[in-house]
Amino acid sequence: MSPENLQEMVDGTDDLVGTFRDRDLEASIWDYPDKPYDFPAEFSNWIREQKAWREQCAVIDQSFHMTHFRVTGDDDEAQDLFETVGINSFADWRDGEPPRAKQFVALNPDGYVIGDCILFWLEEGHYLFVGEEPVSNWTTYQAEKGGYDVDCEMIYNPLGPRDPEYFRFEIMGPNAIDLMAEAVDGDLPEIPFFQMDELSIQGVDAYALGHQMTSERGIEIFGDYEHHDEVLDHIFAVGEDYGLRQVGNKAYITTGIELGWIPLPLPAVYDSPEMEAYREWLPMESMEANFVLGGSYVSEDISDYYATLGGLGYDHIAKFDHDFIGREALEENEALLDGEQKVTFIIDDEDIMKVWGSLLEEGETYKFLTMPEVPYRSELSRYDEILKDGETVGMAKHMDYSYNEREFAALGWIDTEYAEPGTRVTMRWGEPDTEKSQIEPHAMTELRATVAPAPYMKKDREKAFAD
């Protein structure tokens, strides 16, 4: 009999990690046959697109690949719910007015990360979560369990039947602000990082967020999806004078290396006894029940894949001015906040060439390394083991290539004692003992790497080492 919820799935296997490591990724938000859109690998050339956000200007159409989850109702009730679920303080929202935005982070009762997303307060009684599914699921469950006077609705899922309700465009690069100043109706408001305002473009009302997906300054705008084409076409027309290029899938996924954002760790929902009722509530159609793990790290304990606030660089977001799920665990175990640090691992050029060179030699080859790495090709979340003197001291979560920096780098976390920039480590490369058909036979190897800050830029790293 097939399981009907996550708890039944967990109970039905004696190797949950193996289940997640062996299954093929059957559906991808990047190439879904029932959708009237796609996300091309390249619009021009991925190198040109990477260079555009560093040298001139780039636009990313983010309308399609993230879930959108709406919460409506009384503001006090909604913000009470958010303070229960999230580590963030909402004192500034209670004393302020929309539009506002926060990087919203949710923990399990043991203090490990379930997930994060962007939470928008659009207008009185209207909130929007944009990101991955686990935070939305956990928030909906807590709203129902706690009897909060709010309505929760998943208004868009990339793998679902609906079209988006919002267009969402990220414009970034040295020319981004000048471009948008010309593109909008009237004056472009000055919007500090992660602050919001409202504007009009071609007569279309839109929200604006001070944000960027790379190290360069940018702005994110979103509004009613029915105006998607006309707004984007207008940005393209104005952008001809600013060197604007649209970013495709290949270049887009590399923005995380510059930004220092680690996407989608395994949500920490699978083993806490306090979450059994939640697992019974989660249907088999959920992302949590269909997760796919990849990478060189293998453990029998599912909790070894959970992320900490320190490891994701979110320790500064936790505010202890309110009660939230996981607070007690953080207070009792400081290592959840400072035991690990988010870092960048700079991979030695010689070892990258070793991996590629194996393809031209007799015998076993090393795991194929694409450039740039294709997102979600064979897993939802990758864990590559970081070693120091043969001992596991961290995880690399996403390795990719930056043409702007001319190097391979991996985002991840490391035990704090090894987080000093310049520390030498090795990354175990490959995927051992997996039954995935999407992974070719290969030999395991190790790649030498140097610890650097996250986010990082070569010029900043050189200064840090000099200091």
Specify the pLDDT at position 355: 97
* Domain coverage including residue 146: 67-156
In a domain, 282, yes or no: no
- Domain with residue 141: its CATH number is 3.30.70.1400
Task: State whether 176 and 232 are in the same domain.
Answer: yes
What integer is the mean pLDDT of 391-418? 96
Number of domains in the chain: 3
Specify the pLDDT at position 212: 75
What pLDDT digit, counting tens, does each position of 150-163 carry? 999 999 988 777 88
Task: State whether 52 and 171 are in the same domain.
Answer: yes
In a domain, 8, yes or no: no
Task: State whether 173 and 223 are in the same domain.
Answer: yes
Task: State whether 441 and 299 are in the same domain.
Answer: yes
Task: State whether 138 and 186 are in the same domain.
Answer: no
Estimate to the nearest angstrom the gap between the alpha carbon of 443 and the chain centroid.
29
- Domain with residue 222: its CATH number is 3.30.1360.120
Specify the pLDDT at position 37: 56
In a domain, 371, yes or no: yes
Contacts of 96 (CB under 8 A, 6+ apart): none
Task: State whether 448 and 345 are in the same domain.
Answer: yes
Task: State whether 345 and 427 are in the same domain.
Answer: yes
In a domain, 185, yes or no: yes
Rounded distance, CA 45 to CA 247, Å? 9
- Choosing from 156, 181, 196, the residue where a domain stops is 156
What pLDDT digit, counting tens, does each position of 167-192 carry? 999 999 999 999 999 999 999 999 99
Length of the chain: 467
Tell me which residue of 261, 276, 347 sits closest to 307, measured CA to CA: 261
71, 152 Cβ separation under 8 angstroms: yes
Quick check: 94 pLDDT over 50? yes
Tell me which residue of 85, 67, 66 sits closest to 150, measured CA to CA: 85
Confirm or deny that 220 is annotated as ligand binding: yes
User: Which residue shows structure tokens 């050029």?
Assistant: 349
**DSSP conformation class of 321:** S
Tell me which residue of 397, 382, 398 sits closest to 438, measured CA to CA: 382
Task: State whether 110 and 245 are in the same domain.
Answer: no
Quick check: 33 pLDDT over 50? no
Task: State whether 244 and 177 are in the same domain.
Answer: yes
Task: State whether 367 and 450 are in the same domain.
Answer: yes
In a domain, 170, yes or no: yes
Task: State whether 414 and 446 are in the same domain.
Answer: yes
416, 270 Cβ separation under 8 angstroms: no
Specify the pLDDT at position 467: 36
Specify the pLDDT at position 458: 58
User: Which residue shows structure tokens 């999407």?
Assistant: 438
In a domain, 104, yes or no: yes
Nearest 5 degrees, angle CA 41-CA 457-CA 218? 60
What pLDDT digit, counting tens, does each position of 214-234 carry? 667 899 999 999 999 999 999
Helix, strand or coil, per DSSP, at residue 364: coil
- Domain with residue 447: its CATH number is 2.40.30.110
pTM for the full model?
0.94
- Choosing from 138, 156, 174, the residue where a domain stops is 156
In a domain, 297, yes or no: yes
Specify the pLDDT at position 461: 42
User: Which residue shows structure tokens 């984007």?
Assistant: 232
In a domain, 4, yes or no: no
Task: State whether 360 and 454 are in the same domain.
Answer: yes
102, 119 Cβ separation under 8 angstroms: yes
- Choosing from 96, 122, 156, the residue where a domain stops is 156
Strands (DSSP E) contained in 132-233 are 150-156, 166-172, 196-201, 204-210, 218-224
Rounded distance, CA 202 to CA 421, Å? 47
Tell me which residue of 212, 249, 216, 219 sits closest to 235, measured CA to CA: 219
Specify the pLDDT at position 34: 53
